[in-house]
Structures are given as structure tokens and as C-alpha cells.
Amino acid sequence: EADIYQTPRYLVIGTGKKITLECSQTMGHDKMYWYQQDPGMELHLIHYSYGVNSTEKGDLSSESTVSRIRTEHFPLTLESARPSHTSQYLCASSGGWGYTFGSGTRLTVV
Amino acid sequence: DQQVKQNSPSLSVQEGRISILNCDYTNSMFDYFLWYKKYPAEGPTFLISISSIKDKNEDGRFTVFLNKSAKHLSLHIVPSQPGDSAVYFCAASETGGSYIPTFGRGTSLIVHP
């Protein structure tokens, strides 16, 4: 049973649309992360948060933004989607050294 | 510049045999290492980890070996099962730093019945 939930699982959207990818966890973890991953490539950290009202950019530059208003919720927003944003987006949370990942959102921008 | 390298994109083994997945790292500050398993269209799941104070950690069919001098770790799966077919990611972190793991590109393991 998953303790970290991502919705939607799949999303196909047109160029220029605004989208929000949802991520929620029920474990009470302070630390949450967003990764972007393409097939055959490493997971790239794009955003992270160490607690409410704390957000930081990761190693990979991203046009997305995040917010952390509640401990359990860490949504990612793209104001204007482009084909270059097509990828899998993985949300994770951590209460120690390991991560718990969500099932991911496969985003396709056409 | 990849700090964590998994040089084999894929590996194919027969059911019942040993699978050995390799990982090299370049940052000598890394001192905690993790392996994750990922099925298609799913998020990675934690498999096993090892601290730099140890050279081996075992959990059932999975054993991770760490060679600090060579900056090399490996994951052994014995015996391999068809359900082990997945992409395996190696990750390394620096416990004295941000401890956010750096991931490799993964190795796709296929276990044939």
C-alpha cells in the first residue's frame, strides 16, 4: 500500500497549458523531493523541500515551480507546458537516509 | 559529469543464476550507498543500502559489496528470479553534506525463465 501518492499517473497536454502535478504523503516526512527521469538516464533532482514554506531548486534547471504549504503536500506546477517538458516526474519523501517514491507522473506535451 | 556511473545499461541472466550489477563513483566524500529497483511506469523502490564503514550488507537474496579503495560497489542477486527483471539504480550520498543521493543511469536486468 503506497504511502506517497502522485496524480495523475499519465497526462497528455497541449503546448502552452498550465499543469499541476500532485504529490501527497501520509508518513509525516519533513523532506520531500521532485525528480525528473527519462529512459536510460539518471534521476535528476529538480526541487526539494525540508519542511513547510521551505523550497529549493535542485541540480537540474527546471521551469517548474513548487510549493509546500502543508507537510503532506508538495505540488509541482508548469505555467506553460512545452514539448521539452515531456518526461517522467517522480516525487519522493524521506524520514532518514532512504527515499520513498511515488508511482510517478508520465507527462507528454504535444 | 557523472559522479555515479552504471556502465552496463543492460544485463541478461538465466533464472537461478547470479546477477551482478556494478556501480562506480568518483566523489570520495560519498559514504552511504543505496540500490533502488524500478519497474516500468512505477516509482523506484528501496532495495538495500550500505554504509562506508562496512564492506558487505546482505538481505535475503540481495547482497551489496563495497570496495572503497576502488570506489566501486556491486549488487549480487542469488538466485535470480524472473520477477527481479527491472531497472536497478545505484545511488550515493554524503552524510556530512546535503545527504541528497546522486543517482546513476540504471541497469536494466532481464531474468529469463
**A54: enclosing H helix or E strand:** strand A54-57
Between B94 and A34, where is the model more confident?
A34
Q: What is the DSSP letter of B98?
A: T
pLDDT at A73: 97
Chain B contact for A40 (CB, 8 A cutoff):
yes
CA–CA separation, A14 vs A86, rounded Å?
A: 11
Mean pLDDT of A43-69: 92
Q: How far is A18 from chain B (nearest CA, A)?
A: 23
Give the number of other CB atoms < 10 A from CB of residue A40: 11
Name the residue among B16, B64, B14, B18 with its Cα closest to residue B37.
Answer: B64
CA–CA separation, A64 vs B88, rounded Å?
A: 27
B100 with A102: Cβ contact below 8 A:
no
Nearest CA in chain B to A48: B100
pLDDT at A1: 55
Chain B contact for A104 (CB, 8 A cutoff):
yes
Mean pLDDT of B4-30: 96
For chain B, give the mean pLDDT. 94
B105 with A41: Cβ contact below 8 A:
yes
Q: How far is A102 from chain B (nearest CA, A)?
A: 5
pLDDT digits (tens, 9 = 90+) for B80-112: 999 999 999 999 998 877 778 899 999 999 999
In this prediction, residue A61 has a pLDDT band, given cuts at 50, 70 and 90, of confident
Query: Is pLDDT at A2 greater than 90 in this prediction?
Result: no
